[in-house]
Structure 1
């Protein structure tokens, strides 16, 4: 029991530290977001609305303004970004069904594990909430990674289309809508959003900075920086974009080589990370007394905490080694 109380104290301390540093890091970001929201609201009041049917772009714009918990100081920006990403991923139509499935998964985990703890109601509820959030995070990150992969693969083609349009004499501010009409994939929606803000009078620098927040890829940041510098300092945009497109294709080939070289390390990390839940599940089914020993006995708590800490440390070291190679 003392080990459980120590664990709860450690978790409370960690939450307080994370909240403190989160407030420090988000203070300036909240101020910039508030200024941006005020400016965009003023622009939307002053400008005449574009006569166009309701599309995915307008839906995303409404989501950016009406995200749940958007006014909460600490988690508002994070929730708003997740809310927009859910629309980009196409999860909004099935969000209730997904929430029910994640909730049921967390409920069953809380019932199965929490009934063997010293305080079934308390620990069962905490385990249920944690399991539901873990399931949502796992599937959300997988879907977002797939979405970013599609963006990364279609970016060179989009840059080539922008290059051809600019060489034909079309200004950059008018090229996005022309390219978006002939693109397929998520970048067409992003370019349509860029054109939407440009027609409202928002400067290109601010539009591209906001776009890099929705598309957090290093390759896309290079593209945005080139457009901003070209607008402010001039230069041969076509040649610069051609070199960027060739560099991105070479970078993609290099990434494929890196993935092949680090496949063994990544596979081993996945195997190691799956051993702990697999062994706990096997112990829960075939040896429930030993499983209760891990949860109810102080010595079992120490063994469980040591196992979790050692495996977590090993996975972090493995991840850092693979990231350094990449």
Structure 2
């Protein structure tokens, strides 16, 4: 009797397992049923959004209006210079949400001090992120400048005028050169002087080489001459400067890497100790002396970072 019951239980378990496997295979293999969109079933009637979705949209719009009232044109220009395709209020709303989430995580897994520290870190990191995006974009523009001048010179030799050559460059170049010269072309089409538009671009990109190009174009427009040959000469000078710049970057790479390691090392060691042995770092947040030591450490870290930056920065 017992053996018969055991056999029945084994068969039942095997049958149940086979049925589960078959059901899983059916779910994974068989296609999902096609749902006809609401627009096709009832033309002209859009599906109503979920109440939670409507509430989220309302809160987001309210926050964007409040931030938009306090935003400045400089913030919009900075985001545009960094190549971030968001409005200032949208970007700030995302930063505030990220800061709130970071603070909540810090309070849950630590204390209020850690939560405030994480919120401040998020607010500071976003400025660093924008600065890095701007610097990277300006660096790409400088690297593409030589090819841009050669393309302009080729268009001029083909019989095109300077505005036509700039328009051709805006269509064929890569980002960010295409975006910046598209701005120049659009500004000249609405009546702005070409020299002023080019000077503004040189200031936006913080490019000394492009400032020389602008001056060369202005001189050529005043006195005349073969602009294509002038641009070829400027492109050759920029090529030589880029070679020297790359050589300097190669020679200073070790120093810059050492600076990055020395700046990141305290945060890495502190984070590791915070996860493995929180009691070891507890005295820093339990007494006024500990807070004072943290502030002094942060100041020394900032001074050391600025010192290392000046040490490995070579200007020529």
- Tell me the TM-score normalized by structure 2: 0.67
Q: Give the equivalent residue in structure 1 for 2:98.
A: 104
Whether the 8 Å contact between 1:294 and 1:303 is mirrored in structure 2 is yes
Q: Is the alpha carbon distance of 1:154 and 1:228 closer, same or farther for their aligned partners in structure 2, counting shifts above 3 Å? A: same
CA shift in 2, pair 1:106/1:155, >3 Å: farther
- Paired position in structure 1 for 2:15: none
Query: How much has 1:186 moved relative to structure 2?
Result: 2.3
Q: Distance in 2 between matches of 1:234 and 1:130?
A: 56
Matched, 1:308 2:298: yes
CA deviation string 1:216-260 (max 9, x = no partner):
222222222222333244444222211211111112211111111
Alpha-carbon distance between aligned partners in 1 of 2:234 and 2:279, rounded to the nearest angstrom: 61
Aligned to 1:267: 257
Find the counterpart in structure 2 of residue 83 from structure 1. 79
- The aligned counterpart of 2:288 is 298
Superposed counterparts of 1:91-240, under 5 Å: 91-92=85-86, 100=94, 103-104=97-98, 107-108=101-102, 111-112=105-106, 120=112, 126-240=116-230
Q: How has the CA–CA distance of structure 1 residues 83 and 311 changed in structure 2, closer, same or farther, with 3 Å as cutoff?
A: closer
Structure 2: distance between partners of 1:152 and 1:250: 13
**More off after superposition, 284-293 vs 306-315:** 284-293
Segments of structure 1 that go 5 or more residues without pairing to the other structure are 1-67
* RMSD (Å) for aligned C-alpha atoms: 3.3
The alpha carbon displacement at 1:286 in A equals 2.6
Across the two proteins, how many residue pairs are aligned to each other?
A: 250
Cα 1:198/1:239, change in 2 over 3 Å: same
Which deviations, in whole Å up to 9, do the C-alpha atoms of 1:171-214 show, x marking residues without a partner?
32332112323323321222222111111111112211222243
The 3 A distance-change label for structure 1 pair 126 and 233 is farther
CA contact (8 A) 2:255 2:312 kept: yes
Q: TM-score, normalised by structure 1?
A: 0.65
Q: 1:98 to 1:302 in 2, by over 3 A?
A: closer
Secondary structure of the 2:313 match is helix
Give structure 2 stretches of 5+ with no counterpart. Answer: 1-65
**Larger Cα Rg: Structure 1 or Structure 2?**
2
Correspondences of 1:34-49 after superposition (within 5 Å): none
The Cα of 1:128 is off from its aligned counterpart by: 4.4
In the alignment, the residues of structure 2 paired with residue 136 and residue 181 of structure 1 have an alpha-carbon distance, to the nearest angstrom, of: 32
1:27-69 deviations in whole A, cap 9, x for unaligned? xxxxxxxxxxxxxxxxxxxxxxxxxxxxxxxxxxxxxxxxx97
User: Could you say which residue in structure 1 is the equivalent of 2:29?
Assistant: none
1:184 match: secondary structure: coil
Contact 1:116 1:295 in 2 (8 A): no
Q: 1:320 offset after TM fit, Å?
A: 0.6
Given that 2:284 and 2:293 are in contact with CA atoms closer than 8 Å, whether structure 1 keeps it comes out as: yes
1:109-137 deviation digits (Å, cap 9, x = unpaired): 564279866xx3xx567534422223323
